Amino acid sequence: MDKKKKIALVAHDNRKKDLVEWVQFNADKLISHTLICTGTTGKLVEETLIKKLDLSKIDVVKLKSGPLGGDQQLGALIAEGKIDVMIFLWDPMEAQPHDVDVKALLRIGAVYNIPMACNRSTADFMISSDLFEEKYDPILKDYSVYLKRNVTV
């Protein structure tokens, strides 16, 4: 993980306001990193940073909407080592039509040991950590035994 992080930003509809407020508050730190977002969240993040930092343009990578495959795109990026940190403000009070995708995304983030924040408090702790602005080598679990297991059909 380099000093310049590849940060995934995701929020369910009922949490987009929270994420926009968090992005606005942390704009000065976020601008120096690569931001990857799902669907509408990406548009909102881009608009928020342009307005807050008085920019004419900013490059925010925008994937598909979560229910349309954006969560799966993000999971693939994590598996490819192209995401360092994920802020995913999900709505714990409302079932999502793509709950299985949400669970799969959180699972793949855990498998690849990326820092994940699912609420603003954790996101605050993460972005204020000294490690956020430094090179960091996370310890990855060795799955070679799993990959070499004997599978019979």
Question: Which sequence positions are flagged as catalytic?
Answer: 71
Instruction: Give, for 122, the enclosing helix (H) or strand (E).
Output: helix 120-128
Tokens coding 20: 């926009």
Dist CA 94 CA 14 (whole Å): 9
3-state SS assignment for residue 36: strand
104 half-sphere exposure, CB direction, 13 A CA radius: 16
Instruction: Give, for 74, the enclosing helix (H) or strand (E).
Output: helix 70-79
Residue at token pair 């039509």: 97
